[in-house]
Structure 1
Amino acid sequence: MEKMKIKKNETISSFQLFFYLVIVQMNVGIFTLPSYLYKESAHDGWISILFSCLFSISTVFLYSFLLKRFPNLTIFEICTFFFGKWIGGIVKACYILYFLFTAYLINQSYLFVFSKWVFPNSPTWGILLLLLIIGVYLGKETIRTQARFFQLSFWAFLVIFFFSIEAFQQVDFKYLLPIAHVNFSHILKGSYLSYYFLHGFECLLVLYPFVKEPHSKKIKSTIFSILFITIINLFTVILCFAFFSDKEMKSIPEPTIYLFKTLSFFKELERLDLLFLSVWFIIIASSYVSYLNLANVGISNLLGKNQNHTSSVLTICIVIFLIGNLIPTAKGFFETLLKILSFSSFIFILAIPTFVLFISLLFKIKSKEVNLS
């Protein structure tokens, strides 16, 4: 079995892993999460977020048992180890397609929102071209360089949420009462939905051997990233639920953006929604690049050689750019794609790793450590 050769200057710390995973999980879902949760769980949607956090952390513990047995292998190499060259190659190709499909949907999601709120009359290819340029420019770099950029993106995100404090002057927490009023089955449905919005921590399956830290620190960084995103989602959902009435929550598709639109900071800065979306572009671009990189790692492993990252990323970005311009962006069609991603996420985030762990425990299979070169 071929093992990936990781150079020392390509490794990252557990601290950088935290920022990497936070950025990956922090995508366009935050725009619509309050609306989707309200439709499923009403004003108890925030409880669903807590359950989804527990589900996500449970999944990470599953990863912990698996990756501890194969400390120097990515999920691509683990697939070869268990399924053989041909079947393993098919599974690896499916993982690559999953990462590319996720990158494409992140791309299209932001395009849909940005075109609606900021440039409704501008051609879509202009926004896609900007993402293409950023994708190629940052995607060709090493994981360490990308992780450093993600750290900067993280602080830009915190600045934006500082402005949301202004909204607390207009909230009515009575909208959250009574607590646990809806049927528990609806809360569980909301939990599944929220779990889908938290996805991104599966990147650990690829990044694990790139982190030059003990196993426990890698897992802690992953769990802390989930807890951080959970707090952000919880904060956003509760704020929207307490800010908008029941009638408004049922009719507003992107409550987070609407909330920022109504705010002004010290009566000097208005239309915070435009500032929010502009800064969020950095987050989206970072999340987009992270999935491109994961796909790139898989392509290199599938072809059995170190690929030219620049040409590989350029090809991928051009394909996504062309597909984004050719395939319709109607809301109904887009929601169908999201349902496909939701189903495929279950397979690649949970089903395959669980199956591999079960087989490895059943037959007591482990891999030997591979020194970094």
Structure 2
Amino acid sequence: MSKYSFNEISLKQFIFIIFETQVGVGVLSLPGDLAKTAGTDGWISIILGWILANLLSLVIIKIMEKNPGYTLFEILTNYFGKWVGKGLSVLWILYAMYIASIALFSAIHIITIWILPRTLNFILIILFIIPNYLILKHGIKVIGIVSELVFITVLWIPLLLLYALKDAEWLYLLPIGKEGILPILSTAKSTLLSFLGFEMAFLLYPFLKDKKSASKGIIIANSLSMSIFLMVTIVSFVKFAPEEITDYLYPTLNLMKAIQLPVIERLEILFLPFYLFMPFMTIVPYLYMSVFGASHLLGKQDHRNLLLIALFFWIAVSFFFIPSSDQITQLNKGVSMIGICFTFVFPILFGIYGWLYHSFRKERKHEKV
């Protein structure tokens, strides 16, 4: 029996956690980011990013299949030894904490701009971290249950986007490929970062009850994310003029603002409170990955004390750090550079090393026989 068998998650929860981790804050700015580099051909880059994300996801699953009862932090120690393994674990802990922090401050920034401009940052952060603590102290099983509830809660939002097609100008998309192949290919790299979250399989796999379906599950999660990214991007491209969309920091929110309903004004104000469940579900898995890894590194079974330290750190930072729009943009550029290393370079090199590691062990067993 696996030591994680009492904290197992279903395939559906596995899919929802990865999907909700991916569709966080980035989807709000994605159409504008794509338009700046690939014009209205940016939607093609999403498909290319999806293909690349699936290939890398399958590499991660193959690595985990070789070590079904262990998380990433345990595998690193087994493969590389005590000191190198712990060093790599520290990098993953810092990476997860960085992504969680950027997601948190980006969400707070959006709330401050669009809903509560006069509310102090530390108050908003406290309101965010209370449910974070209540969920995370119970571990991955409760995160899985919450992911199901969040999926049901936000299920209506994509349908609302379709209402914006009422006054769409489909000619904005034509001719397809007008920017050339190079901008589309170069944008595919940054689009891959929109799928950040599939690396969460490194943590989730040992907790997955039906491990044989892990490959199918992660492809479904990536495909759900792709469908949302495509829908938001295409609707934004046909709703706003090509030169107009690049002026918006968060085109998706401007899209909601442009939707006129008979009984509701400022639709984005109604949309945002429900949408904030998504960045919340980006913060939760990454923060759990960070404190779970730190607990393993320190040899502790209970991660709650480290969780409290991380949450109080966020509150302390909020007293003297209030990121502006430009700072949020710069922080997200940092995510781009770091994300490439941890989601593209690491799985490939680790997969090659793992293959050599297991091949060498087989050869040694044959020699002993």
- TM-score, with normalisation over the residues of structure 1? 0.93
Aligned residues: 362
The answer to whether the Cα contact below 8 Å between 1:100 and 1:292 also exists between their aligned partners in 2 is: yes
Alignment of 1:321-340 (within 5 A): 321-340=315-334
Find the partner of 2:92 among 90, 95, 98.
95
* CA displacement 1:108-165 (0-9 Å, x = unmatched): 1111111111112221222111112121111112211111111110122211222222
How far the C-alpha of 1:106 sits from its partner, in A, is 0.2
The answer to whether the Cα contact below 8 Å between 2:162 and 2:235 also exists between their aligned partners in 1 is: no
The answer to whether the Cα contact below 8 Å between 1:115 and 1:121 also exists between their aligned partners in 2 is: yes
Structure 2 stretches lacking a partner, 5+ long: 363-369
CA distance change for structure 1 residues 293 and 366 in 2, over 3 Å: closer, same or farther? farther
Find the partner of 1:306 among 301, 314, 336.
301
* Alpha-carbon separation, structure 1, partners of 2:244 and 2:86: 49
Find the partner of 1:320 among 314, 318, 339.
314
- Give 3-state SS (helix, strand or coil) of 2:243's partner: helix
* Alpha-carbon separation, structure 1, partners of 2:305 and 2:41: 48
- TM-score, with normalisation over the residues of structure 2? 0.94
- Give 3-state SS (helix, strand or coil) of 1:71's partner: coil
Amino acid in the other structure paired with 2:116 = F
State the partner residue of 1:350.
344
Find the partner of 1:234 among 214, 230, 236.
230
The answer to whether the Cα contact below 8 Å between 2:33 and 2:246 also exists between their aligned partners in 1 is: no
* CA displacement 1:26-59 (0-9 Å, x = unmatched): 1011110000000010010000100000010010
State the partner residue of 2:254.
258
CA distance change for structure 1 residues 14 and 261 in 2, over 3 Å: closer, same or farther? same
The answer to whether the Cα contact below 8 Å between 1:30 and 1:256 also exists between their aligned partners in 2 is: yes
Are residues 1:166 and 2:154 paired? Answer: no
- Give 3-state SS (helix, strand or coil) of 2:178's partner: coil
The answer to whether the Cα contact below 8 Å between 1:6 and 1:210 also exists between their aligned partners in 2 is: no
How far the C-alpha of 1:366 sits from its partner, in A, is 9.2
Task: Single out whichever of 92-101 and 62-71 deviates more from structure 2.
Answer: 62-71
The answer to whether the Cα contact below 8 Å between 1:70 and 1:366 also exists between their aligned partners in 2 is: no
Amino acid in the other structure paired with 1:219 = S
* Alpha-carbon separation, structure 1, partners of 2:4 and 2:223: 31
- Give 3-state SS (helix, strand or coil) of 2:125's partner: helix
* Alpha-carbon separation, structure 2, partners of 1:282 and 1:231: 18
How far the C-alpha of 1:276 sits from its partner, in A, is 1.3
Are residues 1:57 and 2:54 paired? Answer: yes
Alignment of 1:136-147 (within 5 A): 136-147=133-144
Alignment of 1:81-92 (within 5 A): 81-92=78-89
CA distance change for structure 1 residues 49 and 209 in 2, over 3 Å: closer, same or farther? same
* Alpha-carbon separation, structure 1, partners of 2:323 and 2:3: 39
The answer to whether the Cα contact below 8 Å between 2:61 and 2:201 also exists between their aligned partners in 1 is: no
The answer to whether the Cα contact below 8 Å between 1:69 and 1:367 also exists between their aligned partners in 2 is: no
* CA displacement 1:343-364 (0-9 Å, x = unmatched): 1112222222222221222243
* Coordinate RMSD, CA, aligned: 1.8
CA distance change for structure 1 residues 338 and 245 in 2, over 3 Å: closer, same or farther? same
Structure 1 stretches lacking a partner, 5+ long: 369-373
The answer to whether the Cα contact below 8 Å between 2:205 and 2:211 also exists between their aligned partners in 1 is: no
